């Protein structure tokens, strides 16, 4: 077989073809968005100035990226060192998640080149949106600094890597503070619209709901992402990661079960304090119960049974349900329950181009994740920078990993 034919066979995989089509369509719609404006590609109206790019790309993106601060807090603040191997994948997921949130914002705001205005030109310090923007801006920088040691290890820059690693605890605390603030403030954004939101979703506890549900989402996302990575990137994992994986899965499952139960109960308290019980008998009530029972109570129960029975498969299903539940909740708050009294003819439904851009952005994230995870020490410890202290009775041999992955380690850099 000729080299050209071999190359064609190597590149023309179903994955590459699908990704290629998504990127082409995404590129085409991107050109349309920035030449014809928001009206050219979206179904947004004065009633719905925020559509799927906010509901999915921003609200879901930020919630599902909460695994970064939950994992690093568990490991470095609460001292649960058995989760150490999960920190780097979680930080990478969070960093890419927040990067894509900001990337998606460039599509959604009318004049994206003015995104830095609130910080450097005209600060609206009394606005919740200002706080969200500032926190996301600072947290993205924090996540970048937290992620950078893996890149520096890959490139062989020892000194700067060691300086940044010494800042880990401070960065973690900063990240936890910023995450607590903006995860809750995303919910607080909707406090301004009590007359537009359905009473079952509107509550003075919206900030608390968003924060607590984000923790469950973050823990579940780490489990889900770990499962996918285990399947597709197994050869990039060293013995330490593989040996700690089960402990991470069940430890996080236990945490997610408790957080989901707490979330379930505070939602009930929210209904009680607003005395909204009678709404449960309406159509919106049925939808609310579907979300609360099917995607909060059920995964909490499944997590509990899975931990009790030591069933990893059930943990993964519970994680998938939780992730779907968070997406459903953010869609419900920002789209379904929003403008609930409008006639159905005036309701918002995203155009195919809005959906295409969201799929495009997720695909870009997946590609970047795959590139970084296959090139840099994410699922294994670089032999020159080992931190793992073998447990008692554990062999002190170097972790196995694919040698060629360390090759882009130019000796001319750093040192």
- 3-42 residues in contact with other proteins (CB under 8 A) are none
Of the two residues 126 and 275, which places its CB atom closer to other proteins in the complex? 275
Q: What is the dihedral of CA 278, 280, 282, 286, to 10 degrees?
A: 180
Of the two residues 257 and 335, which places its CB atom closer to other proteins in the complex? 257
DSSP string, 199-257: TTT--TTHHHHHHHHHHHHHHHHHHHHHHHHHHHSGGG--HHHHHHHHHHHHHHHHHHH
Report how far residue 375's alpha carbon sits from residue 150's, in angstroms, rounded to the nearest whole number.
10
**From the CB of 270, what's the least distance to other proteins, in Å?**
10
- 227-286 residues in contact with other proteins (CB under 8 A) are 254, 257-258, 261-262, 265, 268-269, 272-275
**From the CB of 254, what's the least distance to other proteins, in Å?**
6
Q: Let me know: does 364 contact 100? Beta carbons within 8 Å.
A: yes
Q: Which regions of 232-338 does DSSP assign to beta strands (E)?
A: none
Report how far residue 67's alpha carbon sits from residue 216's, in angstroms, rounded to the nearest whole number.
9
**From the CB of 269, what's the least distance to other proteins, in Å?**
6
- 296-335 residues in contact with other proteins (CB under 8 A) are 300, 304, 307-310
Report how far residue 230's alpha carbon sits from residue 236's, in angstroms, rounded to the nearest whole number.
9
Size of the residue set binding other proteins (CB under 8 A): 18
Q: Does residue 384 belong to the site contacting other proteins (CB under 8 A)?
A: no
**From the CB of 80, what's the least distance to other proteins, in Å?**
15
Q: Let me know: does 94 contact 217? Beta carbons within 8 Å.
A: no
CA distances (Å), origin 186, targets 14, 106, 193, 323: 38, 18, 13, 18
List residues binding other proteins (CB under 8 A). 254, 257-258, 261-262, 265, 268-269, 272-275, 300, 304, 307-310
């Amino acid at each position: 077989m000729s080299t050209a034919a071999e190359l064609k066979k190597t590149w023309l995989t179903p994955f590459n073809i699908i990704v290629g089509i998504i990127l082409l369509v995404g590129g085409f719609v991107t050109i349309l968005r920035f030449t014809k404006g928001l009206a050219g590609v979206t179904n947004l109206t004065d009633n719905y100035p925020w559509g799927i790019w906010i509901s999915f790309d921003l609200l879901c993106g930020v919630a599902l990226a909460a695994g970064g601060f939950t994992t690093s807090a568990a490991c470095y603040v609460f001292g649960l060192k058995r989760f150490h191997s999960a920190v780097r994948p979680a930080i990478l997921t969070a960093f890419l998640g927040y990067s894509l949130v900001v990337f998606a914002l460039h599509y959604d705001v009318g004049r994206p080149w003015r995104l830095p205005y609130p910080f450097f030109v005209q600060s609206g310090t009394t606005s919740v949106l200002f706080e969200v923007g500032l926190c996301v801006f600072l947290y993205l920088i924090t996540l970048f600094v937290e992620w950078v040691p893996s890149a520096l290890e890959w490139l062989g820059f020892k000194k700067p890597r060691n300086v940044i690693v010494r800042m880990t605890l401070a960065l973690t605390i900063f990240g936890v503070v910023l995450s607590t603030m903006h995860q809750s403030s995303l919910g607080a954004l909707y406090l301004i619209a009590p007359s537009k939101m359905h009473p079952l979703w509107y509550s003075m506890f919206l900030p608390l709901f968003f924060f607590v549900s984000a923790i469950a989402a973050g823990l579940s996302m780490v489990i889900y992402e770990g499962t996918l990575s285990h399947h597709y990137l197994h050869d990039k994992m060293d013995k330490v990661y593989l040996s700690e994986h089960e402990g991470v899965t069940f430890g996080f499952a236990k945490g997610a079960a408790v957080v989901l139960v707490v979330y379930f109960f505070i939602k009930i308290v929210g209904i009680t304090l607003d005395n909204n019980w009678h709404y449960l008998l309406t159509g919106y009530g049925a939808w609310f119960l579907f979300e609360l029972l099917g995607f909060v109570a059920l995964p909490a129960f499944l997590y509990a049974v899975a931990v009790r029975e030591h069933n990893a498969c059930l943990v993964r299903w519970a994680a998938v349900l939780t992730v779907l539940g968070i997406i459903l909740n953010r869609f419900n708050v920002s789209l379904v329950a929003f403008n609930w009294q409008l006639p159905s003819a005036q309701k918002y439904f995203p155009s195919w181009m809005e959906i295409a851009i969201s799929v495009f952005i997720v695909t870009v994230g997946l590609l970047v994740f795959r590139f970084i995870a296959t090139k840099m020490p994410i699922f294994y410890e670089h032999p020159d920078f080992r931190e793992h202290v073998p447990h008692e009775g554990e062999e002190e041999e170097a972790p196995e990993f694919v040698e060629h992955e360390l090759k882009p380690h130019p000796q001319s850099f750093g040192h």
